[in-house]
Amino acid sequence: MSQAKSARPAPVRILDCPVDPMTMPEALDWCLETGRTSQRARILLTANASHLVALQDDAGLRQAAAAADCVVADGMSLVWASRLLGCPVPERVAGIDLLQALLRDAPTHGLRVFLLGAKPEVLERFVAQCRADYPGLDLAGWRDGYFAPSEHEAVVRQIAESGADLLFVAMPSPFKDIWCERHRGQLGVKFIMGVGGAFDVLAGLVPRAPRWMQAAGLEWAWRMLLEPRRLWRRYLVGNSRFIGLVLRDRFRRQQVAVQR
């Protein structure tokens, strides 16, 4: 067992979701080691405030989060919440940054990649971008995310037959999280990670928030500005509920501490 793996700290709980208190380098090392050595498909889930709010009412998402092999804080809101609750995680591990690092390092470790998700034209552009940015990257295959339930078996078979080690799934939550957990045993890969809309961003079709907004935890506001009709409810209502849930959890923990 490697030193990095043996020293991995125990998860903390934020709104009943296990979150691994890892830095970006630690998460990257875990992903690469998984891709090299795992005997089964392991799932890394990138959790944000929307995830934690949604899993309060979605049993399937809650089960997927509990079953994930690693859950990282993809959002400053989780970092702040962890500090308020007395179980701090060291930093944000943004899924899109982790994806870029894995695409960069995969060739060095001999890892093959499968890309699943996004619209056909977006995926085509992202594949071309990957070939330009990561010339040594071994793409085992790719498929867009627009397929019917009747095609799920064929999609799983395509991925399994590709010989890929790493699978990146660019589809919305909670579908991608539940789908990955449901099919992990048949996908034939060693590592699975949901990346949401990252393909659109990295293909250059959707601009990412400026660095100062990312650092300030305002990337959600940037996304809402880009797509207000689709995202206003998720972020304004969802973020308000997240704050309320965290404050309630803090009060509950204080009460338990007093009783002890």
Tell how many helices (H) and how many strands (E) occur in the chain: 14, 8
pLDDT of residue 216: 79
pLDDT in tens, 37-49: 999 999 999 999 9
pTM of the model: 0.91
pLDDT of residue 45: 97
pLDDT in tens, 176-233: 999 999 999 999 999 999 999 999 999 999 888 888 888 878 888 888 888 888 877 7
**Cα→Cα distances 185→114, 156, 179, 189, 258, Å:** 16, 10, 11, 9, 45
pLDDT of residue 220: 81
The ranges of the chain with pLDDT < 70 are 1-7
pLDDT of residue 238: 84
pLDDT of residue 2: 41
User: Would you state the structure tokens that stand for residue 81, as one six-digit string?
Assistant: 């919440």
pLDDT of residue 75: 87
